[in-house]
């Protein structure tokens, strides 16, 4: 009887030990215990490169010749912009963001309804903004413990790695204009200045890893000035606007002592 009991206990021990050594399947989907994992990385450093499309009083087609404004989109008015910034995750749905952008605009009458007028200008700008982001779709990776622990991309389904968000806020634009052939009895000129702007747009990003996102944004800037190209016509009925298309990358910083960001890039 003792031998049977000893053998039984030995079998139970071996079975338990063997079961403990079996690798458990990796869990990529979120669970109740993972719901707060996003708090581990509430800060993001961002950087981006893109281009601008400007709509002012120089260039463009008349309303009757331009269905929905698509004919005003041209490479002659396309220039570059660079952006950098930082984000802070307030909760699962909202993020605060501060950004600094530099770039240029270009306007010319060489294509449009005023080719004979021949106006042309180039603008250099500096734009600080404070914005809020609302996430309509969030990556499932942020609620996965395995994803958060990994340093490389994990094989989540592509749609599960996507974030889709809208954003708006307030900012300013400091600008300096270089004129060419712009004396006009039907308008006023101004070499530069500062104006308030309102940015609004939508963005899509992919969680490449627990610490890195890559994405693209399309944003429209509504300005409070009609002189961003250095000129306003007496026939102008609206202030200047411009668009950003920005390809960006962000790096998530772990939260350190007291909830402050920790600049450990390992």
Residue 20 corresponds to which tokens in the numbers above?
């403990």
Decide if 80 contacts 104 (C-beta within 8 A): yes
Q: What's the confidence (pLDDT) of residue 11?
A: 46
Any residues with CB less than 8 A from the CB of 181 and at least 6 apart, and which?
118, 119, 120
Q: Is the pLDDT assigned to residue 25 strictly greater than 50?
A: no
pLDDT tens-place string over residues 161-191: 889 999 999 999 999 999 876 666 678 888 8
Decide if 58 contacts 119 (C-beta within 8 A): yes
Buried/exposed 47-71: b ≥16 CB within 10 Å, e otherwise: ebebbbbbbbbbbbbeeeeeeeeee
Burial class (CB within 10 angstroms; exposed 0-12, middle 13-18, buried 19+) of 194: exposed
78-89 vs 241-253, strand pairing mode: unpaired
DSSP 152: S
pLDDT (mean) for 88-93: 89
Q: Is the pLDDT assigned to residue 30 strictly greater than 70?
A: no
Domain 29-259, CATH number (from 2.40.160.20, 2.40.30.60, 2.40.110.10, 3.30.1490.190) = 2.40.160.20
Three-class SS of 82-138: EEEEEEEECCCCEEEEEEEEEEEEEEECCCECCCCCCCEEEEEEEEEEEEEEEEEEC
- In the chain, pLDDT over 70 holds for what percent of residues? 65
Q: What's the confidence (pLDDT) of residue 9?
A: 47
Q: Which three-class secondary structure state does DSSP give residue 191?
A: coil
pLDDT tens-place string over residues 99-132: 999 999 998 888 766 767 778 899 999 999 999 9
pLDDT tens-place string over residues 41-86: 788 999 999 999 998 888 765 555 555 455 666 777 789 999 999 9
Estimate the share of the chain in helix, then strand, then coil, as percent rounded to the nearest 5. Answer: 20, 50, 30
**Strand-pair partners of 102:** 82, 126
Q: What's the confidence (pLDDT) of residue 105?
A: 94
Q: Where are the beta strands (DSSP E) in 186-253?
A: 187-189, 192-207, 212-223, 231-233, 241-253
pLDDT (mean) for 237-258: 86
Decide if 129 contacts 170 (C-beta within 8 A): yes
* Degrees, nearest 5: CA angle 172-173-177: 165
Q: What's the confidence (pLDDT) of residue 113?
A: 65
Q: In the structure, what pLDDT confidence band is assigned to residue 261 with cuts at 50, 70 and 90? A: low
- Phi and psi torsions of 76, nearest 5°: -65, -25
- Distance, CA of 185 to CA of 190 (rounded, Å): 14
Q: What's the confidence (pLDDT) of residue 156?
A: 57
Whole-structure pTM value: 0.76
Q: In the structure, what pLDDT confidence band is assigned to residue 149 with cuts at 50, 70 and 90? A: low
Comparing 147 with 229, which gets the higher pLDDT?
229
Q: Is the pLDDT assigned to residue 152 strictly greater than 70?
A: no
Q: What's the confidence (pLDDT) of residue 130?
A: 98
Q: What's the confidence (pLDDT) of residue 16?
A: 44
Q: What's the confidence (pLDDT) of residue 68?
A: 47
Return the closest-CA partner of residue 107 out of 3, 193, 179: 179
Return the closest-CA partner of residue 256 out of 92, 43, 90: 43
Domains of the chain, by residue range, sit at 29-259
Q: What's the confidence (pLDDT) of residue 187?
A: 82
- In the chain, pLDDT over 90 holds for what percent of residues? 40
pLDDT (mean) for 225-239: 90
Q: Is the pLDDT assigned to residue 10 strictly greater than 50?
A: no
Output the CA torsion 219→110→112→197 (10° steps).
Answer: 30
């Amino acid at each position: 009887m003792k031998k049977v009991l000893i053998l039984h206990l030995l079998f139970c021990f071996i079975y338990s030990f063997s079961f403990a050594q079996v690798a458990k399947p990796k869990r990529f989907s979120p669970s109740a215990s993972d719901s707060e994992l996003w708090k581990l990385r509430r800060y993001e450093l961002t950087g981006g490169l893109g281009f601008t499309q400007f709509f002012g009083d120089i260039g463009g087609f008349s309303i009757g010749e331009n269905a929905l404004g698509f004919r005003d989109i041209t490479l002659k008015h396309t220039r570059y912009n660079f952006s950098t910034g930082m984000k802070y995750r307030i909760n699962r749905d909202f993020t605060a963001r501060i950004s600094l952008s530099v770039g240029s605009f270009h306007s010319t009458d060489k294509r449009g309804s005023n080719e004979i007028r021949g106006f042309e200008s180039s603008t250099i700008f500096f734009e600080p903004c404070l914005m809020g982001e609302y996430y309509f779709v969030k990556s499932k990776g942020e609620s996965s413990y395995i994803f958060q622990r990994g340093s490389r991309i994990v094989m989540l389904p592509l749609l599960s790695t996507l974030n889709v968000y809208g954003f708006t806020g307030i900012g300013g634009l400091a600008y300096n204009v270089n004129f060419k052939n712009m004396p006009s009895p039907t308008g006023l000129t101004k070499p530069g200045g500062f104006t308030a702007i309102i940015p609004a747009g939508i963005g899509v990003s992919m969680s490449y890893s627990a610490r890195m996102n890559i994405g693209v944004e399309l944003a429209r800037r509504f300005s409070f000035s009609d002189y961003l190209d250095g000129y306003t016509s007496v026939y102008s009925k609206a202030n200047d606007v411009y668009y950003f298309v920005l390809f960006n990358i962000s790096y998530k910083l772990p939260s350190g002592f007291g909830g402050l960001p920790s600049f450990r890039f390992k």
